[in-house]
Homo-oligomer: A and B are copies of this chain.
Amino acid sequence: MARMMPLDEAVRQNLRPGDTAAFEGFTHLIPTAAAHEAIRQKIGNLTLIRMTPDVVYDQMIGMGLVKKLVFSYAGNPGVGLLRRMRDAVENGWPQAVEVEEHSHAAMANAYEAGAAGLPCAIFRGYRGAELARVNPNIKSVTCPFTGEQLAAVPAIRPDVTFIHAQKADRKGNVLVEGIIGIQKEAALAARRTVVTVEEIVDDFSNAHPNLCILPHWTIDAISLVPGGAHPSYAHGYYARDNAAYLEWDEVSADRERFQAWMEENVLNAAPQDFANRVEKLRTAQ
């Protein structure tokens, strides 16, 4: 049952050292504020899951909070590689990170299976692809009707999923719009779900009946954090800060510059700082 609370409390109550956690968002609605709060609280030893780990996972890895990464595309979208992740994987700095790597199709199906309460997902995938050789969590199943071999992966069931959404209503129902990505599945697949939102409204009574809405009883905590997806964006609220993604490529290239940036922009910052960061990116509503 969704409870409204400040973000620090929501993270403290729902993310524990050693957890398997997903901070999901497919380019859009990335829960940056929640990830930064986790960094401030120094919750470590995490297994992080995400289809498209980008800047925030680069930051968590660089801060030494990550034991293992489950992913399908690890890049700074449109810019290049993730330099902190590379440093961890290639050089073990600040600590080695174990990698479980999939394709997007596999992870999308695995989240879907998690939301659907199944132990595994089957799909037509990985044919001729070498990931099946290096990832023991890629197996196969034979269709009992046609004999076709299909790829199988275990369902994803995070201990906790964090997502950012546009709106919650007063009861704690949550609305996600635009590029909805994998958020619904990631939220439903998790044991606990925390949502940061741009806005809290009275109700969704005028919303179209077929929108992506998570009922309040599927969510554990909701925190109001305007701008909380920056530098990603919130459809209808503010645009993507492409410049910040380009900047990250430079910041993350150097260990000391990275640490100074984190000190200033994360460790010594707070959830309410996000509102300022998107001020110039706000779109006409």
Task: Please determine whether A210 and B123 come into contact, CB atoms closer than 8 angstroms.
Answer: no
User: Which candidate, A113-121, A245-253, A277-285, is the interface stretch facing chain B?
Assistant: A113-121
Partner of A150, one of B118, B148, B180, B212: B118
Partner of A139, one of B118, B124, B145, B148: B145
Nearest B residue to A113 via CB reads: B122
Does chain B have a CB within 8 A of A45?
Answer: no
- Chain A 179-221, CB-CB to B under 8 Å as 1, else 0, gives 0100000000000000000000000000011111000000000
Partner of A123, one of B118, B141, B208, B209: B118
Task: Please determine whether B139 and A141 come into contact, CB atoms closer than 8 angstroms.
Answer: no
Task: Please determine whether A143 and B124 come into contact, CB atoms closer than 8 angstroms.
Answer: no
The listed residue with most B CB atoms (<10 A of its CB), out of A148, A180, A209, is A209
Does chain B have a CB within 8 A of A14?
Answer: no
Task: Please determine whether A146 and B119 come into contact, CB atoms closer than 8 angstroms.
Answer: yes
Complex CA gap A120/B150 in Å reads 10
Q: Which residues of B contact A117 (CB under 8 A)?
A: 124
Q: Which of A112-142 contact B (CB under 8 A)?
A: 116-120, 122-124, 137, 139-142
Does chain B have a CB within 8 A of A227?
Answer: no
Nearest B residue to A153 via CB reads: B145
Does chain B have a CB within 8 A of A17?
Answer: no
> How far, in Å, is A141 (CB) from chain B's closest CB?
6
Task: Please determine whether B124 and A122 come into contact, CB atoms closer than 8 angstroms.
Answer: no
Complex CA gap A140/B211 in Å reads 34
Does chain B have a CB within 8 A of A92?
Answer: no
Does chain B have a CB within 8 A of A177?
Answer: yes
Q: Which residues of B contact A211 (CB under 8 A)?
A: 208, 210
* Interface SS, A side: loop
Does chain B have a CB within 8 A of A172?
Answer: no
A: number of interface residues (CB 8 Å): 30
Q: Which residues of B contact A143 (CB under 8 A)?
A: 118-120, 152
Does chain B have a CB within 8 A of A78?
Answer: no
Nearest B residue to A177 via CB reads: B210
Does chain B have a CB within 8 A of A154?
Answer: yes
Task: Please determine whether B119 and A210 come into contact, CB atoms closer than 8 angstroms.
Answer: no
Does chain B have a CB within 8 A of A178?
Answer: yes
> How far, in Å, is A140 (CB) from chain B's closest CB?
7
Task: Please determine whether B145 and A180 come into contact, CB atoms closer than 8 angstroms.
Answer: no
Task: Please determine whether B141 and A145 come into contact, CB atoms closer than 8 angstroms.
Answer: no
Complex CA gap A122/B124 in Å reads 14
- Chain A 143-184, CB-CB to B under 8 Å as 1, else 0, gives 111101010101000000000000000000000011010000
Besides A178-B209, A180-B210, 6 other CB < 8 A contacts?
Answer: A119-B150, A139-B145, A141-B144, A208-B211, A209-B235, A210-B212
